[in-house]
Amino acid sequence: MVKRVRLKVPVYVRKFIEGEYGCDDRGVVKVDKKSELGWLIHAISRSIPYNYTYPEVKKGENLLTIQYTTYEKVYDVPPDKLDSLARQLDEMFRSALINEVRGKHELIGGDYGPYVTCFLERYGIDIDNDVNWQSMRKIYRDYLESISKKRQKIFAG
């Protein structure tokens, strides 16, 4: 059975997921159960034998529509897990950004700002409208600080 889930996510997360998994002309991301996002949806889904309603979505809100398949009619993503799923998609974006920028930064060195810009451009994320560029740099900068603190603890011990 084909099912859909609609999530309120930031623009940059929507564009990232659409770039990673592809989307059709209606903006629907179709995920396979064997993909990372498919496994995540399957993990949080549960059997719900009664009717329920999803929260209303207002016009103008940034939505991500994910289409997935399941074999059971009553097996679905519960409404109380939608926020957790949206937060996890944001974490997937952050880890992808960190991994790519880290690889280039460790290999080439120098300022990591252009590597962040390259990552954002690949997914069509507009630096001026969709996201604050300094906050994207901060994601990697915070990662570098946490690694530095861990190394200090290791060598101080």
| Residue 10 CA to its chain's centroid (Å) | 9
| In the chain, where the domains are located | 2-80, 88-156
Q: CB-hemisphere CA count at 13 Å for 6?
A: 10
Give residue 87's pLDDT: 96
Would you say the C-alpha torsion 35, 41, 44, 45 has a positive or negative sign? negative
Give residue 76's pLDDT: 86
How much is the CA Rg of the chain, to the nearest whole Å? 18
- The string of pLDDT tens digits covering residues 73-126 is 778 888 889 999 999 999 999 999 999 999 999 999 899 999 999 999 999 999
